[in-house]
Chain A
Amino acid sequence: MSAVPLLEATGLTRRYAMRRGLFGRPVEVRAVDGVSLALERGRTLGLVGESGCGKSTTGRLVLGLERPDAGGVAFEGRPMPAPGTPAWRALRARMQMVFQDPLGALDRRMTIGAQIAEPLEIHSIGGRPERVAQLLRDVGLRPDQAGRYPHELSGGQRQRAVLARALATEPALLVCDEPISALDVSIQAQVMNLLVELQARLGTAILFVSHDLRAVRQVSHRVAVMYLGRIVEEGEPDAVLHDPAHPYAQALVSAIPHPGRRQRRILLQGDPPNPADRPSGCAFHPRCPVATTLCAREDPVLKPRPGDGRHVACHVAQGEVPARRAA
């Protein structure tokens, strides 16, 4: 293993122009606003946040499916080529994606066997029939299911097929975008276990994008919490998810139901703010139970907290101001 992380993203920013109403001038929306992250080989980074916080866009930027407006992605120390170029296409063999909706991600007119073989054909990797059979076994499907069409499989089996296709080229990086949220709860655990098991066997690095904190805790080596296009807290999953430092992360964690344990839930006021109309200062301050006047004025930066070195972007958690009132 080299000192260079497998994947390093610095200051990723992605803006979209959005028009509101008939007369509205185009408004710039920052879906992702200065996100930096690093991922080592064989490790998993969990990216959590509510819908619309930019975590899926971050996943797409990291894979190079979209170009960032600012910042950059380095894969194995080299910058990401532009989408659609031959270099970019060749790099697809090294990084793959698992989608939220496995039925949508599969071509309904082809057998799953043919679809799992497709990355092998694209990247001219030989030994196909045996390799496809092996991949099917790896993800817990039977080799004779190669002749099935997607609609003949169950949701969990489809996601396994998508996973087999993603793993066909033995990628070094796998971006899983909400891979279990379209599945039944009973199937979710199976797919999660499969991911962990395959990672242990193949040494794949995983960027696990999800809004499901428990799923993230189960698979991740590190966790990053996103709010409105920025990472607000990052650290070890046990630390972040047991003792969150950022008020937003605290609210998220308190929302996990614990059978048998009585715990006060922190109810956030209001809806997630419109990314086109980003609040001044800390973007979370209008909903924050402990916000101070400084929070409305000054944007906190993500930096290690004095005590334990946890990365958090919050004036209160950093101890720079006293909390307005206890949470």
Chain B
Amino acid sequence: MLGPRLYSPFDETMWKSIAEGGMRIQRCDECSTYRYPPGACCPNCLSIDFGWEPISGNAKVLSWITYHKQYLPAYPAPTTIVAAMLDEGEILITNIDASETDKLSVDCAVRVVYGDHPDGYKIPRFTLATQTS
């Protein structure tokens, strides 16, 4: 089983939270600024002290694309990718079921769900949020 590639000593905790079905991202202890992807310090105040906070999972769509060519073994075409602004003010970019592509628009609501990557780990994905709250 291959895990996702880790780019910093802080990535592992995030991936563990994803595996548990509740993605957490870092939040600065000093100034409360969220940051994603994981990293050593707060881009706002440079503090290296932080906690891990669960995301609400609610986001608004900024943009999307559909691959008509396969680049990654885990993602045959067509694959649709969405960039969306989380409630926490950080942008998350991940895939959405291709059948939902035609319903996407800027600012439409999506929420994070958890799916399986073929390499044997969990990933956050988007799905269109239902209109009812």
Is the pairing of A and B real? no
